């Protein structure tokens, strides 16, 4: 990352942190009012493991957010706030950071999520993105993964289960189309 950390935060990510509690990302901690129960999840995606280096950086940003949104929604909650920990690879062009931030900002807005903080640094290793999302339950009860009972309806949040993993395996050449038929 050629630009210093504070410039990257101020110029690229602070515009997406508009709540008063986010403090324009100029503080070490964010403040937001919690009204009761919070649902919290975190996921990390790593270049070469969860996405490929040649994947468009826009879709990488979207994936980083959406894997977490999926977890929050699966708990019957509405995502409201996010922490972003971005470990930028020295091997990637620094100009991609702005594209990443713009794409993430659009997706945050789409889902109604406020960026409230996080951390940025660089590494000689792979691009690594960790996000933590906070959500507010929409009902009185937050379901656990094993709560479903025989005879109950089960709703899928979206897409086909395993399709992202399958697509990555195909792109890596680890499985072929013949195996899918």
Express each pLDDT in 118-131 by its tens digit.
889 999 999 999 99
CATH number, position 61: 3.30.1330.10
Task: Give me the number of domains the chain comprises.
Answer: 1
Q: Is residue 16 part of a domain?
A: yes
Tens digits of pLDDT across the chain (181 residues): 445 767 777 777 667 676 666 666 666 777 777 778 888 999 999 999 889 889 999 999 999 999 999 999 988 899 999 999 999 999 999 889 999 999 999 999 999 999 988 889 999 999 999 999 999 988 887 777 677 778 766 665 566 666 666 666 676 677 766 665 5
* 121 falls within a domain: yes
Q: By three-state DSSP, how is residue 29 classified?
A: coil
| 27 domain residue, yes or no | yes
Can you give the residue range of the structural domain that contains 72?
Answer: 5-142
Residue 116 falls inside a structural domain? yes
The verdict on residue 165 lying in a domain is no
Instruction: State the pTM of this model.
Output: 0.75
Q: Is residue 77 part of a domain?
A: yes
Task: Tell me if 124 is assigned to some domain.
Answer: yes
Residue count of the chain, please give it: 181
Cβ atoms of 50 and 42 within 8 Å: the answer is no
Residue 155 falls inside a structural domain: no
């Amino acid at each position: 990352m050629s630009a210093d950390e504070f410039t990257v935060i101020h110029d690229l990510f602070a515009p997406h942190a508009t709540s008063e509690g986010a403090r324009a990302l100029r503080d070490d901690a964010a403040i937001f009012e919690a009204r009761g129960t919070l649902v919290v999840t975190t996921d990390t995606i790593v270049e070469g493991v969860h996405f490929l280096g040649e994947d468009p950086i826009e879709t990488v940003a979207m994936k980083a957010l959406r894997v977490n949104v999926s977890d929050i929604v699966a708990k019957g909650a509405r995502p409201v706030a996010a922490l972003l920990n971005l470990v930028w690879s020295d091997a990637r062009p620094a100009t991609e950071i702005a594209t990443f931030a713009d794409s993430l900002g659009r997706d945050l807005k789409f889902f109604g999520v406020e960026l409230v903080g996080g951390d940025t640094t660089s590494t000689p290793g792979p691009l690594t993105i960790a996000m933590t999302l906070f959500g507010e339950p929409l009902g009185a009860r937050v379901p656990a993964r094993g709560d479903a009972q025989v005879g109950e309806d089960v709703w899928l949040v979206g897409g086909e289960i395993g399709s992202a993993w399958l697509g990555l395996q195909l792109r890596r050449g680890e499985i072929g189309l013949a195996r899918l038929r």
